[in-house]
Structure 1
Amino acid sequence: MSGRLVGRTAVVTGGAGGIGRAFARRLADEGAAVAVLDRADATDVVHEIEEAGGKAIAVTCDLTNPEAVGAARHEVTARIGSAHILVNNAGIYPHQPFDSLTFEDWRRVFSLNTDALFHTCQEFLPDMRAGGWGRIVNVTSNSVGLVVSGVTHYVASKMAAIGFTRALATEVAGDGVTVNALAPSLVRTPTTEAAGSAESFETVARMQAIKRSQVPEDLAGVLAFLVSDDAAFVTAQTLMADGGLVRS
């Protein structure tokens, strides 16, 4: 453990696997007590953290349900204390042509990729402001800077998350809370590998400045910086951690 986050409590949504799992493990390595919020069973990642000497809990939560998020906050606070760090990582990435989209399809994407940010921030932000210190990181996507076809609803939801990040950061900066967005490229996880093909990863890697596929650990160190005191003067930013795919 580095000890950079000792005494802090972190909440990671969608932390049962993939990117969220790497985030939860890294924050625990940095010394934070971590609450892993997910609809799926997150006990495996909690056991990994505990075996490494860290502290973590798993909280089952439907992030699209504001009452469930409120109950999750109460559970986190009761078991490991008020949150200092919130990582909004949970999201879905469906691929569907616009002309076949229904409003139900549209709302399904926004309910998790955007609305859930509203629910979690409303629940966990007040304690951060009251304590005079907080870090919120919203995971968006580099697709907002390099759009491909078939993901109109996804890109719109992730662009909305960036606007939410900038606006919220402006409101809470005076209370010692920073709010930033982290935008990865196509990341190799069990979910993306099951949904895609080897060729898709190779194609994206060739387009990047760094010619290899991105893995969750490539993002974990960036996250650890954004939620630490080292990033105290960084807020309202969208950090493209995508191997140089979007060059702006």
Structure 2
Amino acid sequence: MSDERRTAVVTGGQGAIGSAIADALRASGHDVVILDRDQVDLADAHDVERAAGALERCDVLVHAAAAFDRFTLAQLDLDALRRVFAVNVEAGLLLAHAFAPGMAERGFGRIVFVVSDTVYAPPAPDLLPYVASKAALVGITRTLAHELGPDGIAVTAVAPGLTDTPAARAGMPAAAFEGVRHRQALPRTLVPDDVAATVAFLATDGAAALTGQTLVPDGGLMPR
């Protein structure tokens, strides 16, 4: 990093993965601002804009927050779908829109969207809204990389595999973790620090040549 101290803004920073990301960024010398449900309603565009406007600076934006409503096509719920996209997609875009001008002025910026390796192989039909929203972020990553690159802003995505968090444990049987672990090239259960280390690297000057890419820390489950 340069001598100038950088500020990172992390959405979903009170969750297991988000808090690990925040800790990793602090450890690498960033000032970290958390935007979670206690600070902002990410489903409300006006509240997202208010929260962004209250911040003086953002050099690294990490959008890790995610709504996880589940339904199949047969159970289609447009209100729930719109909420998932508001939190998972629109909030990230609004924050990028708010912070990109300052990044461009300073000639440095990192925008990282936390997505999921379920984009490549959806494991269940009722993950339709979640997978669709994360796939949208992959497309946004590729598009913004070209738009913002000339201003020194790199845009990437991180697609973790099944990670051992309280939320994941509550929503899946233990056998699911064992099954995924045995299919990975590296047979170890993923933990939040695995994701955090990848994000922290992308925030460094060492990742200056990476943009438009999706890194997949999933133990080699789905080589890309």
TM-score range, shorter chain: over 0.9
Question: Relative contact order (alpha carbons < 8 A, sep ≥ 6): 1 or 2 greater?
Answer: 2
Q: Is the 8 A contact 2:10 2:22 kept in 1?
A: yes
Matching of residues 164-243 of structure 1 within 5 Å: 164-243=140-219
Cα distance change, pair 6–27 in 1 and its aligned pair in 2 (3 A): farther
CA RMSD of aligned residues (A): 1.5
Give TM-score, length-normalised by structure 2. Answer: 0.94
1:156 paired to 2:156: no
Of 197, 207, 220, the match for 1:244: 220
Long gaps (5+) in structure 1 = 41-59
The residue number in structure 2 matching 1:74 is 53
Partners of 1:69 and 1:91 lie apart in 2 by: 14
Q: CA deviation at 1:131?
A: 1.2
User: Helix, strand or coil: the match of 1:241?
Assistant: coil
The residue number in structure 2 matching 1:18 is 16
The residue number in structure 2 matching 1:99 is 74
User: Helix, strand or coil: the match of 2:222?
Assistant: coil
Partners of 1:4 and 1:18 lie apart in 2 by: 29
Q: Is the 8 A contact 1:5 1:32 kept in 2?
A: no
Q: Is the 8 A contact 1:63 1:69 kept in 2?
A: yes
Q: Is the 8 A contact 1:139 1:181 kept in 2?
A: yes
Q: CA deviation at 1:5?
A: 8.2
- Structure 1 runs (4+) greater than 4 angstroms displaced: 3-6
Partners of 2:79 and 2:44 lie apart in 1 by: 16
Q: Is the 8 A contact 1:69 1:120 kept in 2?
A: yes
Equivalent AA in structure 1 for residue 53 of structure 2: H
Give TM-score, length-normalised by structure 1. Answer: 0.85
1:109 paired to 2:84: yes
In the alignment of these two chains, the number of paired residues is: 223
The residue number in structure 1 matching 2:26 is 28
User: Helix, strand or coil: the match of 1:76?
Assistant: coil
Q: Is the 8 A contact 2:16 2:192 kept in 1?
A: yes
Long gaps (5+) in structure 2 = none
Percent of aligned pairs sharing the same letter: 41
Partners of 2:15 and 2:85 lie apart in 1 by: 21
Q: Is the 8 A contact 1:4 1:31 kept in 2?
A: no
Cα distance change, pair 5–187 in 1 and its aligned pair in 2 (3 A): farther
